[in-house]
């Protein structure tokens, strides 16, 4: 593999291949070849071409042809893994990653960094990341990022370049015999502390199963036809969420019926997309869950009911994790139209029409409330509908808690909120990630749920940072357990609000084993100040239920 740049007095050609390979390169009318760096290059002349032959080894080799063409034959990359040993990474491509071809801005002055066709870019060996290059008189101004003290070497640039700056700091440079300029830029380590995640506020986010809850503001599931052409209805009225304007996030259903006393089971066919889950309650009694598996986008579940009293009204509450609509890359198929919600149901001994249904999703449905963060940001959980995932919710009367690691004692949905300040070092890019611990711990008892897979406790966590949803952690499926949150969503120099919903699909509840906010790297950066994304705070939502 090669890349080439031409300048007024010389041309630079960078060549790299894989480790241990034997290579040949022929240059027509190349003229006299001199090996000016490294060793092990054989030079031959044939039919008017200069032929170079070499094997990729640890050292870089530089060949000059007639003082005009400089060919860089890259060597292997070495990575230092500590004082105990050193390991060679046998992939010369890694060495090539340290060479950057940076386009120069067109400032309208030929020879001063303008893109005039002959002086359009510079070639620089610079390590971790080089961002921009600009010519300022006789100087080359570079910006970039460092993860270690690094040698900067300019191997291709306009002739007038004699000095270099890096992130506006002068680099003490030396000039070598073949016209490159090099100097060292210093990485400075910094100290910072991670926030304490042991103090939270807690509220129940499933009040819908309580006898005092009213669903009068919910949508009536009364449409006898569907707009969905991918699946015909098998229920008296549509229970497809999108028919009622709910297209994203958690879905909730409440089915009302009066018991005869003979009902013993409820069959539910639900669909939420790959790795979805669902849970069901009769009044406030948990009757079971579908924990989910990665390959299943729908599930058929039959749950045993407690003894029902004839003539008494009951409410069946169903919570479905909508994982989003399918992508579709097959011509002629309509898998992207597969509905989300309840596909079918059967209450033993009863007609389907004996149950009347209501449903909800995100507050407002298609008329979603948070125009800052967009329509995909929140779903139908109670805390989401109330906007409690936004910064500064009304936590004054909530319960103090140790957070998701304390967990919830029963099947249900808990909602946790905490806040903390960050004071990260200026001039550094320090990516932060929430990392969840996931062990092979098993359930403490057998439940009435459909249990598939490893037997790990089944729970799901949604993560919000300053109101933005930035992760869904499914403990019993995974595999993702690390959720990066960039600066700009995080306020690196001020207050931050973090919220997590914890949905236990097991009767014994669930707790997160551990959560840590981890710095993935500490990068000294020339990027500059990062602007914050809009962070509208919580206000009382009109019509929230």
Are residues 18 and 149 located together in one domain of the fold? Answer: yes
pLDDT at 242 over 60: yes
- pLDDT-derived band at 455 (thresholds 50, 70, 90) equals low
Q: How far is CA 467 from the centre of its chain?
A: 16
Q: In the β-sheet with 33-37, what is the strand arrangement from edge to edge?
A: 2-6, 11-15, 69-73, 61-65, 33-37
| pLDDT, position 150 | 96
Angle, CA 476 vertex, CA 473 and CA 481 arms, to 5° = 35
| pLDDT, position 188 | 97
Q: How many C-beta atoms surround the C-beta of residue 424 within 10 A?
A: 19
Instruction: Give the 3-state secondary structure of residue 395.
Output: helix
Q: How far is CA 466 from CA 375, 473, 499, in A?
A: 16, 18, 8
- Alpha carbons 144 and 133: distance in angstroms, whole number: 9
pLDDT at 78 over 70: no
Are residues 211 and 181 located together in one domain of the fold? Answer: no
Residue 247 belongs to some domain of the structure: yes
For residue 4, the number of C-alpha atoms closer than 13 Å in the C-beta half-sphere is 10
Q: How far is CA 203 from CA 225, 250, 337, 400, in A?
A: 38, 18, 35, 9
pLDDT at 117 over 80: no
Q: How many C-beta atoms surround the C-beta of residue 6 within 10 A?
A: 15
Are residues 334 and 389 located together in one domain of the fold? Answer: no
Instruction: Give the 3-state secondary structure of residue 251.
Output: strand
N-term to C-term CA, the chain: 62
- Alpha carbons 145 and 524: distance in angstroms, whole number: 5
Are residues 12 and 146 located together in one domain of the fold? Answer: yes
| pLDDT, position 115 | 42
Those residues whose C-beta lies under 8 Å from the C-beta of residue 308, and which sit 6 or more positions away, are 259, 260, 261, 262, 263, 314
Q: What percentage of the chain exceeds 70 in pLDDT?
A: 91
pLDDT at 494 over 80: yes
Mean pLDDT of 362-387: 98
Q: Could you read off the pLDDT of 277-326 as tens digits, one per residue?
A: 999 999 999 999 999 999 999 999 999 999 999 999 999 999 999 999 99
Q: Could you read off the pLDDT of 387-400 as tens digits, one per residue?
A: 999 999 999 999 99
| pLDDT, position 448 | 37
Would you state the structure tokens that stand for residue 454, as one six-digit string? 């490893």
Residue 174 belongs to some domain of the structure: yes
Number of domains composing the chain: 3
Angle, CA 29 vertex, CA 28 and CA 33 arms, to 5° = 100
Residue 377 belongs to some domain of the structure: no
Residue 376 belongs to some domain of the structure: no
Are residues 171 and 227 located together in one domain of the fold? Answer: no
Query: Model-level pTM?
Result: 0.86
| pLDDT, position 91 | 36
Residue 26 belongs to some domain of the structure: yes
Q: Could you read off the pLDDT of 190-223 as tens digits, one per residue?
A: 999 999 999 999 999 999 999 999 999 999 999 9
| pLDDT, position 92 | 57
| pLDDT, position 106 | 76
Residue 327 belongs to some domain of the structure: yes
Instruction: Give the 3-state secondary structure of residue 274.
Output: coil
Residue recorded with tokens 């097991």? 506
Q: Could you read off the pLDDT of 319-361 as tens digits, one per residue?
A: 999 999 998 888 888 899 999 999 999 999 999 999 999 999 9
Q: How many C-beta atoms surround the C-beta of residue 435 within 10 A?
A: 16
Mean pLDDT of 247-258: 98
Better-predicted residue by pLDDT, 28 or 87 = 28
Q: Is the peptide bond before 99 cis (omega within 30 degrees of 0)?
A: no
| pLDDT, position 364 | 98
Residue recorded with tokens 């008017």? 48
Those residues whose C-beta lies under 8 Å from the C-beta of residue 328, and which sit 6 or more positions away, are 334, 335, 336
Q: How far is CA 338 from the centre of its chain?
A: 25
pLDDT at 49 over 70: yes
Candidates 380, 357, 367, 334; CA nearest to 239 is 357
Are residues 82 and 135 located together in one domain of the fold? Answer: yes
| pLDDT, position 369 | 97
Are residues 351 and 396 located together in one domain of the fold? Answer: no
Q: What percentage of the chain exceeds 90 in pLDDT?
A: 79
Q: Could you read off the pLDDT of 13-41 as tens digits, one per residue?
A: 999 888 778 999 999 988 899 999 999 99
- pLDDT-derived band at 161 (thresholds 50, 70, 90) equals very high
* Backbone φ, ψ for residue 164 (5° rounding): -135, 140
C-alpha gyration radius of the chain: 32
Q: How far is CA 434 from the centre of its chain?
A: 11
The alpha carbon dihedral of 162, 168, 173, 179 has a sign of negative
* Residue 445 CB-density burial (10 A; 0-12 exposed, 13-18 middle, 19+ buried): exposed
The answer to which of 152-166, 265-279, 347-361 has the lowest mean pLDDT is 152-166
Those residues whose C-beta lies under 8 Å from the C-beta of residue 425, and which sit 6 or more positions away, are 190, 191, 192
Are residues 78 and 147 located together in one domain of the fold? Answer: yes
- What is the per-residue DSSP string for 472-539? EEETTT-S--EEEE-BTTB-TTSEEEEEEEEEE-STT-B--S-EEEEE---EEE-S-PPPPPP-PPP-
Give me the CATH number covering residue 109. Answer: 2.60.390.10
Residue 96 belongs to some domain of the structure: yes
Residue 239 belongs to some domain of the structure: yes
| pLDDT, position 476 | 94
The answer to which of 113-127, 154-168, 374-388, 513-527 has the lowest mean pLDDT is 113-127
Are residues 318 and 411 located together in one domain of the fold? Answer: no
pLDDT at 109 over 70: no
Q: Could you read off the pLDDT of 232-241 as tens digits, one per residue?
A: 999 999 999 9
Are residues 390 and 520 located together in one domain of the fold? Answer: yes
Are residues 426 and 516 located together in one domain of the fold? Answer: yes
Mean pLDDT of 509-533: 95
- pLDDT-derived band at 367 (thresholds 50, 70, 90) equals very high
Domain region containing 510: 382-525
- pLDDT-derived band at 97 (thresholds 50, 70, 90) equals confident
* Residue 347 CB-density burial (10 A; 0-12 exposed, 13-18 middle, 19+ buried): buried
Instruction: Tell me the pLDDT of the chain averaged across its residues.
Output: 90
| pLDDT, position 485 | 98
| pLDDT, position 1 | 59
Q: Could you read off the pLDDT of 460-489 as tens digits, one per residue?
A: 999 999 999 999 999 999 889 999 999 999
Are residues 42 and 159 located together in one domain of the fold? Answer: yes
* Backbone φ, ψ for residue 209 (5° rounding): -90, 0
Give me the CATH number covering residue 513. Answer: 2.60.120.260
């Amino acid at each position: 593999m090669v890349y080439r740049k031409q300048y007024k007095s010389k041309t630079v050609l960078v060549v790299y291949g894989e480790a241990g390979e034997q290579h040949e390169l022929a240059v027509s009318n190349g003229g006299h070849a001199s090996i000016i760096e490294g060793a092990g290059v054989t030079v031959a002349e044939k039919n008017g071409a200069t032929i170079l032959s070499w094997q990729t080894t640890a050292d870089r080799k530089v060949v000059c042809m007639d003082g005009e063409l400089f060919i860089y034959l890259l060597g292997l990359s070495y990575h230092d893994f500590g004082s105990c040993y050193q390991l060679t990474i046998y992939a010369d491509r890694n060495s090539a990653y340290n060479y950057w071809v940076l386009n120069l801005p067109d400032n309208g002055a030929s020879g001063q960094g303008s893109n005039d066709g002959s002086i359009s870019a510079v070639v620089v060996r610079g390590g971790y990341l080089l961002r921009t290059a600009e010519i300022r008189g006789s100087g080359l101004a570079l910006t970039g990022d460092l993860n270690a003290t690094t040698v900067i070497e300019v191997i291709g640039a306009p002739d007038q370049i004699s000095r270099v700056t890096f992130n506006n700091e002068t680099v003490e440079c030396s000039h070598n015999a073949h016209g490159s300029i090099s100097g060292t830029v210093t990485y400075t380590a910094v100290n910072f502390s991670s926030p304490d995640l042991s103090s939270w506020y807690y509220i129940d986010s499933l009040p819908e199963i309580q006898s005092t809850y009213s669903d009068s503001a919910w949508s009536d599931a009364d449409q006898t036809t569907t707009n969905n052409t991918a699946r015909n209805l098998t229920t008296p009225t549509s229970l497809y969420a999108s028919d009622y304007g709910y297209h994203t996030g958690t879905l909730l259903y409440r089915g009302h019926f009066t018991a005869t006393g003979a009902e013993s089971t409820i069959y539910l066919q639900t669909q939420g997309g790959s790795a979805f889950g669902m849970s069901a309650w009769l009044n406030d009694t948990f009757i079971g869950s579908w924990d989910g598996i990665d390959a299943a986008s729908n599930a058929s579940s039959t749950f045993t009911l407690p003894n029902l009293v004839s003539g008494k009204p009951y409410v069946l509450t169903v919570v479905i994790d909508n994982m989003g609509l399918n992508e579709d890359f097959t011509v002629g198929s309509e898998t992207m139209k597969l509905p989300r919600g309840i596909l079918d149901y059967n209450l033993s001994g009863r007609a389907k029409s004996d149950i009347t249904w209501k449903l909800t999703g995100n507050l407002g449905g298609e008329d979603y409330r948070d125009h800052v963060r967009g329509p995909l940001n929140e779903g139908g959980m109670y805390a989401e509908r109330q906007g409690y995932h936004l910064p500064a919710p009304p936590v004054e009367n909530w319960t103090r808690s140790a957070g998701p690691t304390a967990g919830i004692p029963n099947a249900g949905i808990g909602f946790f909120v905490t806040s903390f300040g960050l004071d990260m070092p200026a001039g550094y890019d320090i990516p932060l990630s929430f990392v969840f611990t996931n062990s092979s711990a098993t359930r403490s008892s057998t439940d009435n749920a459909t249990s598939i897979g490893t037997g790990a406790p089944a729970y799901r966590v949604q993560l919000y940072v300053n109101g933005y949803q930035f992760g869904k952690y499914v403990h019993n499926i995974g595999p993702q357990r690390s959720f990066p949150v960039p600066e700009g969503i995080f306020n690196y120099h001020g207050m931050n609000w973090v919220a997590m919903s914890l949905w236990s699909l097991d009767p014994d509840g669930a707790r997160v084993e551990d959560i840590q906010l981890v710095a993935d790297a500490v990068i000294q950066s020339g990027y500059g100040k990062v602007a914050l994304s809009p962070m509208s705070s919580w206000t009382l939502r009109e019509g929230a239920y």
